[in-house]
Amino acid sequence: MSPDFLSGLNERQLEAVTLPHQPALILAGAGSGKTRVLTTRVAWLIQTGQVSPHGLVAVTFTNKAAKEMLTRISAMLPINTRGMWVGTFHGLANRMLRAHFREANLPQLFQILDSQDQLSLVKRLLKNLNVDQDRFPPRQVQWFVTASKDEGLRASQVETHDEFTRRMKEIYFEYDAQCGREGVVDFAELLLRSYELLSAHDALRSHYRARFRHVLVDEFQDTNRLQYRWLKLLAGSDNAIFAVGDDDQSIYRFRGASAANMQDLQRDFAVERVIKLEQNYRSHGHILDAANALIGHNRRRLGKNLWTAEAKGEPLRVFEAATDLEEAGFIVEEARALRAEGVALAHIAVLYRSNAQSRVLEHALFTAGVPYRVYGGLRFFERQEVKHALAYLRLVAGSGDDGALARIINFPARGIGARSLEQLQEVAKARGGSLWQAAVLKAEDGRRKTEGQGGETDNSALSTQHSALGKGIPAFVALIEQMREATAGLSLPEVIEHVIGASGLKAHYQAEREGADRLENLAELINAAATFVAERDVQPAGEAAGMDEPDELTAFLAHAALEAGEHQADAGADALQLMTAHSAKGLEFHSVFVSGLEEGLFPHENSLTEADGIEEERRLMYVALTRARRRLYLSFAQSRMLHGQTRYGIASRFFREIPENLMRRINRGSVLEVHQTGSRQASRESGAPSLNVEDGMAELRARNLKSATPWRIGQSVVHPTFGAGVIVSAEGRGTDARVQVNFRKSGVKWLVLDYAKLIPA
């Protein structure tokens, strides 16, 4: 008699759950019930007596997923799940090392360093070694060590190619030695040390293989190489590994994830059964058809085709905006309309490729009074790098803001420690002024002493405090004063751009492994300033004018403070969800907006020059599409503010990879349906021009170069100087032929083809 919990499984799910003792790969499409299959498999193995609750190990990627798995198992079986080996890779590795600390050569009470603790250790180490932290930034050293460990490499195994990597290798040696002296391990060390433990001790390896006859793995497509090697040691030839994953949703290559592990699993474990879970229980048919068509353009995939027993539903709604502001306005209007139809805001998500894109959306929502939450991240004006830049700007504007000064007086690091700040606070308190005023006093006192005039407080306690403050404070004061002088007469966007560079923020984040997002947010702050100026200029007289009107910088800082206020909805409140496409993985919503679908933005410009870059971007787009249950919007803008300037782009290639009969083009107040024939139905309202994606693509195709060259309108290219871009126009023939290229970083440029040095992306 079959257990009750097997009822309701479809044919493929039941086949996966009841597989005999053998290695298997379950190719689980989006919304196909993979978590149900995995947990039901565990319950079935225990219920049928094939294994005890402590005779299997199940690996997940988040603690939340592990808790959910245990909750579901306990709901199906009357057992105590406490003590079961269900957890993350790092959690299970920690458990193993605690049990075998002697064999792992660790102290019994070893401590685990989180990311910030690890960075602090690196900084102490570099200081003790007298390492130049400008050449070897602490975060870059931290990344080097972690990346090496994730590849399973000890310092002795790291290959060096130049003086820089040789020095990094030496620091890695010293880092490991310091961790040993302090009895601590970082997160990457947990898994590496556990792998080395199993690899070096045959008896332990045999013990765990005999104990865990079944090894189950969730989100297998997200495993990195070391995690896969660890699994191989844990699951021997007599064990049944049950891997559940979806190569089409492998979107964490930047974290080291390797979708190739799925092919390796089939080879290394001689997997005979690959079961495809293709029935989707989430989305309507048109959404799935679009996702299938899109991902079908990827060549390196195991292959599956999602389908649903649900209705086809509505076509995808496509909106082409003139500007990014219009795009944001459209999303706000549609969200309001959905709410009027009875869809809760919490069931609506707006997805974007880069965090910086949220700023325009947040501004539109704030202005319209629509509650929202930024999922898995901070609102734009709350982000670390933005707050740092605003703190510099407040001081440049002449503010005596103690909080601003305390925030950035030693960021980026300039040798001003906590003790110096405390002494500065003592001076400020004694003088009854601000920290900035105390810092200026220190700088002036230092200048007088340098000029041989003596300080005004030579014989006082304050003089002693001034002397203890060292050279860092005067240098900081000089930096702020130099920025004030350099930005006098500049426009607001130019002021912000100068401060971001002169403060050292730009260089600091350029040196970080994952600093690209922070740099994009700083660039977006310049855009915010340009938009603020434009909106301020068109305000009615009496609102934007007056004797007491503040200067642009002061007004912008007030605006930023207001938008960083408490407008974001509280947890649990009904609010629109904003998030990156990466953050959306694993979630689902009634309606989804995928915004910013332009070449160079989504797909991201970096993908144009990276191996497998476009395929990974397509997988990310596939994830974005499959988050929607009932309604899906795709939007892009003809122009967008980048680095404070207007940039012009073209629609993402992903539009061309979705069948036209699945999409409906919409204007404000009118709808245009595009069929495979290219014909259109419905009418324009009041003669307004149609912002139609297919019109634009047809025009581009019609304007393709006529000369005998390999170039075409809409083609992605790379230039050795200007970087990645897209051909947006062309003119002339033969030796006079030239193309207009929209370069992501340097804007629109005309290039004569004979001398262009363009390379197809």
Known catalytic membership, residue 149: no
Using the Cα atoms of residue 518, residue 524, residue 529 and residue 535 in order, give the sign of their dihedral. negative
What are the C-alpha distances in Å from 605 to residues 355, 359, 555, 757?
15, 20, 34, 18
> First-to-last CA distance in the chain?
59
Q: How far apart are CA 637 and CA 323, in angstroms?
A: 5
Phi-psi region of 118 (alpha: psi -120 to 50; beta: other; left: phi over 0): alpha
Catalytic one among 34, 213, 229, 276?
A: 34
In this structure, are residues 748 and 741 in contact, taking their beta carbons and an 8 Å threshold? yes
Assigned token pair, 77: 């079986």
Q: How far apart are CA 116 and CA 78, in angstroms?
A: 41
In this structure, are residues 86 and 55 in contact, taking their beta carbons and an 8 Å threshold? no
Q: How far apart are CA 51 and CA 49, in angstroms?
A: 5
Rg (alpha carbons) of the chain, rounded to whole number: 30
Q: How far apart are CA 759 and CA 761, in angstroms?
A: 6
What are the C-alpha distances in Å from 645 to residues 391, 493, 648?
23, 9, 10
Number of alpha helices (DSSP H) and beta strands (DSSP E) in the chain: 26, 23
- In the numeric block, the tokens 């007088």 are attached to 448
- Specify which residues 680 forms β-bridges with: 674
Say whether the peptide bond before residue 53 is cis (omega within 30 degrees of 0).
no
Q: How far apart are CA 89 and CA 227, in angstroms?
A: 7
DSSP string, 480-502: HHHHHHHHTT--HHHHHHHHHHH
Strands 723-731 vs 738-743: parallel, antiparallel or unpaired: antiparallel
* DSSP structural state of residue 653: G
For residues 493, 496, 502 and 503, what is the CA-based torsion angle, rounded to 10 degrees?
-170
Sorted by sequence, the CB contacts under 8 Å of residue 422 that are 6+ apart come out as: none
Phi first, then psi: what are they for 88, rounded to 5°?
-80, 165
Known catalytic membership, residue 276: no
Catalytic one among 139, 301, 506, 627?
A: 627
* DSSP structural state of residue 569: P
Catalytic one among 218, 563, 616, 694?
A: 218
In this structure, are residues 332 and 364 in contact, taking their beta carbons and an 8 Å threshold? yes
What are the C-alpha distances in Å from 391 to residues 388, 401, 441?
5, 8, 20
**AA identity, residue 760:** P
Assigned token pair, 163: 């003086």
Catalytic one among 60, 118, 223, 249?
A: 249
Known catalytic membership, residue 34: yes
Known catalytic membership, residue 218: yes
Phi first, then psi: what are they for 92, rounded to 5°?
-70, -35
Assigned token pair, 342: 């009875």
Known catalytic membership, residue 423: no
Q: How far apart are CA 678 and CA 673, in angstroms?
A: 9
Catalytic one among 150, 189, 219, 278?
A: 219
Known catalytic membership, residue 570: no
Q: How far apart are CA 625 and CA 316, in angstroms?
A: 10
Sorted by sequence, the CB contacts under 8 Å of residue 22 that are 6+ apart come out as: 240, 272, 273
Q: Supply the residues annotated as catalytic.
A: 34-35, 218-219, 249, 627
